Amino acid sequence: MKVKPFVEYQKDKILKFSIVKNLEIVGEASYKLTNEFRKNNPEIEWDDIILMRHILVHGYYRIKDEIVWATIETDLLPLRSKIIKLIKK
């Protein structure tokens, strides 16, 4: 998959919306997990994921492209790996 540069991401409203929406979904799914499950699986940054979801949904006027982009670039692949390990437990 070819990754677009940050400047293209900033200009592409459809791409930005779809990424934000998918991050919201990840946050909502995390939020729906029980507190006990989240507590028993501290290797995942549940609070950060849920906080980001709240900002994306309720504080959309505060969304910073740089933070969303940094999340894509640095956090998603490690999160995916952690989730896969968790599923395999």
Give catalytic residues, as residue numbers: 53, 58
Q: How far apart are CA 12 and CA 70, in angstroms?
A: 17
CB 20 within 8 Å of CB 59: no
Q: How far apart are CA 50 and CA 81, in angstroms?
A: 18
